[in-house]
Structure formats: structure tokens, C-alpha cells
Amino acid sequence: MKNLLIQLQCITRHEEGGVIMTKKKTKTTPTQRDGDTSAKDAGKNISVLDRKDFISKLFKTGAGTLATTIVGNGMLKSVSSLYAQSKDNRAVKRKFRYGMVIDTRRCVGCRSCVLACKAENKTPSGVSYTVVFEEILENRPNDKPVFMTKPCFHCEHPPCTDVCPVSATFKRERDGIVVVDYERCIGCRYCMTACPYSARWFDFGENYPAIEQNTPWAQVPSPEYKQFRKRKNKQSPVGNVRKCTFCLHLQDEEGKYNKEEGRWPACAKTCTGKAIHFGDLNDPNSEVTVLLRERQYMRLKEELGTSPNCYYLI
């Protein structure tokens, strides 16, 4: 009977930095046949932690233990990175994959993108689909802060869609844009809590001018979804969560934008510093794809496994 070399990993306790390490042990054992208990006997001398003991020690070591796991080659790797890798492997191939590339070296913090977005989407005071913030990036000269425009990132794996109890927010199959269905939304705001980028806003309906309460602005969800998503009962976005849609209403029937015709997201079209670039990330010749090939870039909170479709050139 041929012997098989089975590598058995014995989990032993090492309280070095609060991380449970592993040690490899090898043992030669015969192949077990029906009624043959030699394989079981061969493993009796292997020391392992009792299940209850292991769980007890796992919680005693704290959150640091949960941050790492063991991969096949015995090296420690973060759980978040493994999660991100597994989710990327399950990414859906879409006809379009719209995204933004924002050049932090060109943004001057003028916030014209914020004003253009409000004008295009007719959002009330207190609701801004695009914001600009300052951030200090590593390895920059003199550690000077840079301006960073932040729309919704329309993540490949958005956590906001997973927590919605009524499936009111979802990722479109054709282009991957994440939207909110105002007719379904119940205003629970779970999605706002789940979004790691704070890219969602709740419309309390308190900032609409009284003189305009009966105008189309207050009665329909602005132009966000164009005619092909027209509300039967003209439901207002008041009492619902709102967010950036990459100016979805400017797409044509085929789901395409046209920069020359002005059918382009308002923030990218208006940017005075030419810092905001928009396009199809699936197109190897698009402006955004070329920039990502030629420049160094980063994405915010990549370790969460969200795969945001917004890149920052640094």
C-alpha cells in the first residue's frame, strides 16, 4: 500500500502581537480503507486546540486576530484583501462601466462642480451629490493638502445595495450605475449607514421654497431618471435617500453619453481645472482608461472590497 504524504497544519497558540500563528507538521500515513482505522490512529498524536478553547482564545486576542488569516503558503494576509480579491473575481461584465478619474494635481477647489451638479439635478439646500474636501496625501511635496472631488463612487460591490430591506437601491445591469428607486424607498437610511464614503443624502423636504412646493421641481424626482423611469404617481424624492447618478438622464436610449453634444455629467463638463474626467472604463481607448495607464492613481478605502469606480491621480 502506497503511503501518502499529508501535510497537517497544527494550530498552536502564540501570543505574539495578539495573532494566532500556524506551524506546519508533516506526517506519513497510509490511505484509509473501509473498516481501516489506521489513518485515524495515525492522527491521534497531533496536538490541536479544542474547538471551545480555540474560540475562547480567539476572542481573547481581540480584533487584531480577526484582521488576518492564513493563506496557502503559510503567510499572513489581511481578511479585507482576500475579501476584495474574491469579490473582484466575481465582477459582472457589463456593456458599459462608467467611472471617473479625478486629477488631484489639477483640482483648485473652486467647487464649480458642486454648483453645476445642483443646477443640473435641481437638488435643494442640504443635498449635494458632489462635494469637495481637502486631504493630505503621503509622499507629496511639503505635505500640502490637495482638493479631492467626491461624487458617488458607483462601486462594483456596493455595500449600500446589500442592506436595503426593500431593494430600493440597486446597481444597473447595463452600466453599473447605482440608483435609488423613490417609489420603493421607505426612508430607513440603512444605505447611508452602510456607505463607507458618505455619498448619500436624505431629503427631509425642509429646504424647498414655499412658493415652489407645487412646481414640478418638488413633485417629481428632478430629471434624474429621464422619461424611461418616469414615476406613475409623480412621487417626490422628499423622505427618500438621494445620491449622484452620473447624470443618468443625459444618456441616450443606448446608454451612451456624448461630450460634444453636452450630454456629459455636469461636474466633469464644468470643471474649470479640467481635473474631472469621465468615461467608460471598459473602453481601452477612453480618456479615463488612457489616464489610468499613464498615471499613478489611488482609490479610497480599497481594503473594504468595494472596488469603487472613481480613481484619483496622484
Let me know whether 248 and 173 are in one domain.
yes
Let me know whether 46 and 165 are in one domain.
no
Q: Which residue has the higher pLDDT, 269 or 39?
A: 269
Let me know whether 35 and 122 are in one domain.
no
Q: Which residue has the higher pLDDT, 230 or 244?
A: 244
Residue 20 domain-assigned?
Answer: yes
The separation between CA 89 and the C-alpha centre of its own chain, rounded to angstroms, equals 15
Per-residue pLDDT at 292 exceeds 70: yes
Report the CATH number at residue 252.
3.30.70.20
Name the region of 195 (left: φ>0; alpha: ψ -120 to 50; beta: rest): beta
- State the pTM of this model: 0.65
pLDDT of residue 50: 53
Residue 12 domain-assigned?
Answer: yes
Percent of the residues in the chain that have a pLDDT greater than 70, as a whole number: 60
Residue 243 domain-assigned?
Answer: yes
The separation between CA 222 and the C-alpha centre of its own chain, rounded to angstroms, equals 26
pLDDT of residue 205: 77
pLDDT per position as a tens digit, 152-198: 999 999 999 999 999 999 999 999 999 998 888 999 999 999 999 99
Let me know whether 231 and 273 are in one domain.
yes
pLDDT of residue 59: 44
Let me know whether 139 and 241 are in one domain.
yes
pLDDT of residue 83: 41
Domain range for 161 = 98-313
Q: Which residue has the higher pLDDT, 214 or 54?
A: 214
pLDDT of residue 11: 35
Let me know whether 178 and 253 are in one domain.
yes
Residue 92 domain-assigned?
Answer: no
Quote the number of domains for the chain.
Answer: 2
Cell 423611469: give the residue. Answer: 229
